[in-house]
Amino acid sequence: MMNIGSTICAVATAQGGAISVIRISGPQAIQVTDRIFKPAKGMPFSERAPYSVSYGRIIDSEGSVVDEVVTTLYRAPKSYTGEDCTEIACHGSTYIANRILALLIAAGCCTAQPGEFTQRAFLNGKMDLSQAEAVADLIASTSAATHRLAMNQMRGGFSKELSALRDKLLRLTSLMELELDFSDHEELEFADRSELEQIACNIEQVISRLAESFSVGNAIKNGIPVAIIGETNAGKSTLLNRLLNEDKAIVSDIHGTTRDVIEDTIVINGVMFRFIDTAGIRQTSDVVESIGIERTFRKLEQASIVLWMTDASALSSLDSATATSSLAQLKADILPYCSNKKLIILFNKCDKLTDDQLTDVISLFDDVDAHKLALSAKGGSNMDFLQSMLLECAALPQVSQSDVIVTNARHYEALVRALESIHRVQDGLQCGLSGDFVSQDLRECIHHLSDIVGDVTTDQVLANIFQHFCIGK
Strand (E) positions, 332-412? 342-348, 371-374
Q: Residue 172: what pLDDT?
A: 80
Residues forming CATH 1.20.120.430 domain(s) in the chain: 135-213+404-454
Q: How far apart are CA 297 and CA 227, in angstroms?
A: 10
CA dihedral in degrees (451, 456, 458, 463; nearest 10)?
Answer: 50
Rounded to whole angstroms, what are the CA distances from 191 to 183, 194, 428?
A: 13, 8, 15
Q: How far apart are CA 238 and CA 264, in angstroms?
A: 14
Residues forming CATH 3.40.50.300 domain(s) in the chain: 221-394
Candidates 3.40.50.10190, 3.40.50.720, 3.40.50.300, 3.30.830.10; correct CATH number of 221-394? 3.40.50.300
Q: How far apart are CA 436 and CA 418, in angstroms?
A: 18
Q: Residue 89: what pLDDT?
A: 96
Q: What value, to the nearest 5°, has the Cα angle with vertex 141 and ends 140 and 143?
A: 150
Rounded to whole angstroms, what are the CA distances from 153 to 81, 374, 401?
A: 18, 42, 9
Rounded to whole angstroms, what are the CA distances from 29 to 91, 116, 472?
A: 21, 15, 15
Rg (CA), the chain: 30
Residue 67 belongs to what H/E stretch? strand 65-74
Q: Residue 269: what pLDDT?
A: 84
What 3-state class would DSSP assign to 267?
strand
φ/ψ bin of 382: left (φ > 0), alpha (ψ from -120 to 50), beta (otherwise): left
Domain at 8-127: CATH code: 3.30.1360.120
Q: How far apart are CA 344 and CA 334, in angstroms?
A: 12
Q: Residue 261: what pLDDT?
A: 53
Domain at 135-213+404-454: CATH code: 1.20.120.430
Q: Which amino acid makes up residue 277? A: D
| Closest to 152 in 3D by CA, of 396, 398, 404 | 404
Q: Residue 284: what pLDDT?
A: 44
pLDDT along the chain (473 residues), means of 10: 80 90 96 95 91 94 94 95 96 94 94 92 89 83 78 84 86 74 52 77 91 86 86 82 66 40 78 77 46 62 86 86 81 82 91 90 90 89 91 79 81 93 90 80 89 74 76 82
Contacts of 279 by beta carbon, 8 Å cutoff, 6+ apart: 256, 258, 259, 260, 261, 289, 292, 293, 295, 296
Residues forming CATH 3.30.1360.120 domain(s) in the chain: 8-127
Q: Residue 7: what pLDDT?
A: 95
